[in-house]
Structure formats: structure tokens, C-alpha cells
Structure 1
């Protein structure tokens, strides 16, 4: 199965190499649990790799 690497330490290992390609991911949690930071980190890692989005 093809996967999208998030570049977030530990997270890709939990998902056995990243998020499965062509899947929708819902990131949910209470206030202050790091949802925005997770999203920013994912976007930042994509920019560093030169991905177009």
C-alpha cells in the first residue's frame, strides 16, 4: 500500500510508514491537544520536501 510520509517523528512509525494514500484523515481532540501544531508540522515538512500540495 502506498503511503504519505508526514515527517512527524513517531507518527509515521505508528502508521507503518505514513498515512495510506487516497485516505481521508480526521484529526480530533480537545482544546490544547496539539491538533493545529500537528497540521502545521505536516505542512512544514511538505514545504521542506518541495511538495506542491
Structure 2
């Protein structure tokens, strides 16, 4: 998760030395990631159908 924060994928704010993430931002990241995963699974299923697997 630190990498996601540091590269700006998930926004955060610093409180002292601690990184604070808003719950809404974390949920938005999860929604985007789930959608990407679903798309990849659908693409693999379609490819399997084309190849007759």
C-alpha cells in the first residue's frame, strides 16, 4: 500500500510522520481495481471461448 500512496495512486495527507488515507479514496481505488480485474477475467473468458478451451 505504501507504494500506491507514494506513486500517487491513492491520495493521502501527512499528519506528523503518519500518512492518512480517506476511506472514500480507498473505496474508489478498490472499485477501479475490481473493475480492471473483472475486465481482465472477461477478456480471458472470451479468449478461451475463441480457442475452444
Which TM-score applies when normalising by structure 2?
0.36
Q: Larger helix proportion, structure 1 or 2?
A: 2
Structure showing greater relative contact order (alpha-carbon pairs closer than 8 Å, 6 or more residues apart): 1
Which protein shows a greater Rg?
2
Which TM-score applies when normalising by structure 1?
0.36
